[in-house]
């Protein structure tokens, strides 16, 4: 099942139908890996021939009609920018899949898509399109769910600095495939998290989902523009110490 209609992805993929594209993957956690998986699934849906490009390792990059540069939330993140620079140097027209912007970056793209309007406005151009995970065809959720859990990021981006890092249950520490991400959320009646793609997986698994803020606009902008209309909830409060002590007991060894 998809969280939103496939037609919303037509502005990205319809013009590429019948072409051959190289899909350039980035650097990231299981949320990013879900985006890379979704990019390939959507290319198949729209009859786009595609192959994988490792922009840092292939010299020259194999010829194709377009390069599709990974989506996510990493515009302004230096390791991701280095991959994009190599793609630009190939001379092949580059299309940026839906992104969020941490800070300004020189994007030498033929076409750019941003998954929320704040990021588009920072760059000063481009089109709005959904996060590709919203178009991923997830498996049907299980019927038997129990309990609820809070999952908080341990690394950069967290605003929950008062919660001791040892008590933060971060799924990127123990989920190693995109399937791990959605299977994790499928076991619960409720998930509260500041991990955007964990929240998207949770919504797909029909789990009650509450998204929390991080230290830039990505989560709140995605919530307002895409996730709230499909049933996601939002909280921006700071957890008390008493609540913190009960975080993730089943995962902390």
- Which pLDDT score, from 0 to 100, does residue 251 have? 59
For the chain, list the domains and their CATH numbers.
Answer: 6-135 (3.40.50), 148-244 (no CATH)
Per-residue pLDDT of 177-223, as tens digits, reads 999 999 999 999 999 999 999 999 999 999 999 999 999 999 999 99
β-sheet bridge partners, residue 150: 192
Question: Residue 199: how many CB atoms within 10 A of its CB?
Answer: 28
At 88, the pLDDT band (50, 70, 90 cuts) reads very high
Tokens 């998986």 — which residue? 37
Residue 35: phi and psi, rounded to 5, are -65, -40
State the pLDDT at residue 162: 80
Kindly report, residue by residue over 210-228, the tens digit of the pLDDT: 999 999 999 999 999 999 9
Say if pTM beats, i.e. exceeds, 0.85.
yes
Provide the percentage of residues in the chain whose pLDDT is more than 90. Answer: 85
Is residue 150 pLDDT above 50, yes or no?
yes
pLDDT confidence tier of residue 54, bands split at 50, 70 and 90: very high
Residue 84 confidence (pLDDT): 98
Query: C-alpha distances in angstroms, 167 versus 84, 136, 147, 202, 243?
Result: 36, 31, 18, 21, 11
Q: Which one is predicted more confidently, 244 or 206?
A: 206
Of 4, 24, 145, nearest to 90 by C-alpha is 24
d(CA 37, CA 5) in angstroms, rounded, equals 18
Name the burial class of residue 174, with classes exposed (0-12), middle (13-18) and buried (19+) by CB atoms within 10 angstroms of its CB: exposed
pLDDT tens digits, one per residue of 107-139 = 999 999 999 999 999 999 999 999 999 999 999
């Amino acid at each position: 099942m998809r969280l939103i209609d496939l037609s919303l992805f037509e502005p990205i993929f319809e013009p590429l139908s019948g072409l051959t594209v190289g899909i350039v993957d980035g650097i990231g956690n299981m949320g990013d890996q879900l985006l890379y998986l979704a990019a390939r699934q959507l290319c198949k849906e729209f009859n786009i021939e595609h192959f994988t490009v490792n922009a840092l390792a292939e010299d020259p990059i194999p010829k194709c009609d377009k390069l599709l540069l990974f989506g996510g939330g990493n515009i302004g993140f230096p390791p991701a920018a280095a991959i994009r620079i190599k793609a630009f140097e190939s001379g092949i027209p580059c299309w940026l899949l839906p992104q969020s912007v941490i800070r300004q970056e020189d994007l030498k793209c033929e076409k750019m898509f941003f998954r929320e309007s704040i990021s588009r406005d920072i760059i000063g151009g481009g089109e709005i399109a959904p996060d590709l995970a919203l178009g991923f065809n997830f498996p049907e959720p299980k019927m038997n769910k129990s309990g609820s859990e809070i999952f908080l990021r341990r690394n950069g981006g967290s605003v929950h600095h008062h919660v001791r890092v040892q008590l933060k249950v971060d799924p990127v520490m123990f989920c190693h495939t995109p399937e791990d991400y959605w299977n994790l959320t499928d076991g619960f009646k409720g998930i509260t998290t500041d991990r955007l793609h964990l929240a998207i997986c949770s919504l797909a698994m029909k789990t009650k989902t509450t998204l929390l803020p991080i230290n830039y606009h990505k989560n709140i902008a995605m919530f307002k523009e895409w996730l709230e209309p499909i049933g996601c909830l939002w909280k921006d409060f700071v957890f008390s110490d008493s609540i913190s002590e009960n975080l993730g007991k089943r995962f902390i060894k």
